[in-house]
Every structure is written in structure tokens, then in C-alpha cells.
Structure 1
Amino acid sequence: MIIGNKLKAIRTTRNLSLDEVSKLTGVSKGMLGQIERGQSNPTVSTLWKIATGLKVSFSLFTYENQEELKIICQNNIAPILENNDKMKLYPIFPFNANNGFEIFTIELEPSCNHMSPPHNKGVEEYIIVTDGEIEVSIAEKSFTLKKGNSIKFMADKPHTYRNLTSTKSTFQNIILYFK
């Protein structure tokens, strides 16, 4: 329900109709209404479309408050699921406007292929593989990253994360919105 409440608050604050939000995000008016009413949980791709279209951070939709000190236990975080539950995204450190970044742990099951739409211009992504091996494709180039490998890229191009192995792969995803 956090996601729906945040979406409605943004829409109301900006005095936008569901039709206008639909045009900005590419998400249907019906789906937006279901999300606002708590009748549907958006997929990762849908939530990215909404965040990008409204020019807000992804994790704005997944956190409730900011604290001065907080210890995070991933087991206590309900993941956002995608690709028939083959991708689990854990919002570890949600977006903080003062810092301009957010951090996720992402788990990809074998054969998971997640396509991420381009983010807004100037957004950077940092990937740190902590377990297994993934392939990251950015525009037309692909890179194989194993445990201990990292990559930084401008995320305003289509990019894909793939697990081509037979075991689960895990990586940290840091998204920097501004400097």
C-alpha cells in the first residue's frame, strides 16, 4: 500500500489526473488506479516507468521514513518481484534527496533476463557483483561480471541484466541521481 499512497500523493500534489500520469509514464490509467487503491502491486518495470515518467527516484515508492541510524536486515525486506519471480529487488537504502542515491540488492535466478528502460539523463548506475556471474548489456555492448567485479555506467540508455549461469547471482545496484 506504500507504493499506492506515494503515487496518489505525488499525483495530488502535482494536480495531475490519472490520464496525465498515464501519458507521462506509459502505464495505463487502469493500472495506475489499481496501484493507488492497493489492488495491484506493480512489477519492477512498471515502477521504473512510473518513477522515470514522474521524474522521481524508484525507492521513493518503497520507503516510509528516514532515520539517523538504521541497521538493515535484508530478510526483513519484502522484495519487489519481476520476471516470474526470477528477479528479486531489495530496496536496502531508499532514495534520500540529500544524498541523491539509492542502493538495492538484486538477486537473479538462473535464466533471468531483466530489461531496464533508460533512466533520466545524468543518472549513473554502479553494479557490484557479490555472488555468481551476470551479463550487463548497455545499449549495444555486453559485459560479463563475476563475483568481485564492478561496472559504472550512464543509465540513460536501455540496459539489461542477465544470469546466464545455473545458479543464483546477486549484485548491489547503486543509482546516483545527481551530484
Structure 2
Amino acid sequence: MNRETDDSKQVVLQVGAVVKKLRKEKQLSLEDLSELSGVSKLTLGNIERGETNPTIALLWKISRSLNIPFMALFSKENSVDLSRAGKGLRISGDNKDWVIEPIFQHTSGAMETYRAYLQPNSSYHPENHHRDTTEIATVMTGTISIKVNEETYILHQYDSISFPADGRHSYENNSEEVVVLHILLKYGV
């Protein structure tokens, strides 16, 4: 087994342990969490045991149903974090066109930051986020179309946008280059 595979397995096991811990703290059975999240009991059990690598969509459903920030599922207690692009945890969307790297994996507050990569000629349509969540996206490289509800915004390198993330929104890359974004999620707590 190589180091990347070992690291990925550790993350999967860590996420499973955190989901199980949070579920028990909230005194929920697997069946209760399944009903709240819309994720099957079997899949939740596999996640808790570290037997499956869940998608971003599944993790959003679980975090929303537990009413916790997304990155709380990856919680590690550390006082100093260093995030290097391309190193550490990477989470892919269902079709691998959208990849996020948590910049900081601890959740001492109600804010999370990510590096996001959208592949050429592709789009990403995320799950609605927690109620009262604000999303702030800054384009680091490339040009992207961001649709919020029914309005489309074109952003170029270093442009930023802030919008309510609990409604429909999407990202579209119509270029031949990977678009890199920094995304901040601020939860309304």
C-alpha cells in the first residue's frame, strides 16, 4: 500500500468515527439519521465503519442532518494548521470534475475554507447547504460562471462573489483550463 492510499484510508476511518460519535452524542440511531439525511442505513453503517469513501453529496446530507459544519466531519484537534495545495485531503464530486481540498480541517468556529478545482468544460451543482449559510468564492485561476438561483455571474481571476448558499447555485467552467477557487463557507449559527 502506498502513502496516499494509507492517508486516504485514515481519512475514511476518521470520518466514520466522527459520524458515529456525533450521531451518538445527538442520541440518534442509524435509522434516525437515515430518515433525517436521506442516506440509507446500510450506507451510513458502511461510512461509520470506514468501509466506504463517501461522496461530497452524501457528506453534505449527513452534516446538514446533524446540523454541523461540513468540516466537522473531518475534525482533528490542532492549534496550528498548514495547508499546502495538492497535499492532504482531497474530496471529489460524483463525476470527479469537482474536487475540493479543505484548507483548514478543524472547525473551532462556524467557518470553513477550501480550495476547489473545476475541470475544463464541466459544471458542479452542489447540494443546498445548511440554512443561513453564506458562500464566498474567489477565483484564483481561470474564468467561471456561477449561477445563484436564476442569475448567472461571470468571474475572472481574483474576482469574488458572496451569496446565500442554502439555495440553488452552480459552478460552470466553459474553458479548456482547470479553474481554481478559494471558497469560504460561513454558517449562520
- For the criterion TM > 0.5, the same-fold answer is yes
1:66, CA displacement in angstroms? 2.8
Provide the aligned length of Structure 1 versus Structure 2: 177
- Structure-1 residue corresponding to 2:91: 80
Q: For residue 147 of structure 1, report the CA deviation from its aligned partner.
A: 0.8
- Name the amino acid aligned to 1:84: N
Partners of 1:28 and 1:56 in 2: CA distance: 19
Q: Cα deviation per residue 1:100-126 (whole Å; 9 max; x = unaligned)?
A: 201000001113321112222221110
Aligned with 2:65 (options 53, 58, 62):
53
Unaligned runs of 5+ in 2: 1-12
Match of 1:89 among 80, 100, 110: 100
1:130 pairs with one of 132, 140, 152: 140
Task: Report the Cα offset of residue 178 of structure 1.
Answer: 3.1
1:177 alignment counterpart:
187
Deviation sequence 1:117-172 (CA, Å, 0-9, x none) = 22222211100000011111111111111111110001110211121111100000
Pairwise CA distance, 1:13: 1.1
Superposition pairs for residues 153-172 of structure 1, below 5 Å? 153-172=163-182
Post-superposition offset of 1:95: 4.9
SS at match of 2:138: strand
Return the TM-score normalized by structure 2.
0.88
Q: Distance in 2 between matches of 1:131 and 1:86?
A: 16
State the distance in 2 between where 1:4 and 1:111 align: 33
Q: Would the aligned equivalents of 1:83 and 1:113 in 2 still touch at CA under 8 Å?
A: no
Q: Give 1:83 shift.
A: 3.6
Segments of 4+ moved more than 3 angstroms? none
Q: Secondary structure at the match of 1:53?
A: helix
Q: Distance in 2 between matches of 1:133 and 1:78?
A: 25
Q: Contact between 1:58 and 1:95, CA under 8 Å: does it hold in 2?
A: no
Give the match's secondary structure for 2:86: helix
Extract unaligned runs of 5+ from structure 1. none
The percent identity for this pair of structures is 29
Over aligned residue pairs, what C-alpha RMSD do you find?
A: 1.5
Compare the two structures and name the one with the higher strand fraction: 1
Tell me, what secondary structure is at the counterpart of 1:116? coil
1:108 aligns with 2:118: yes
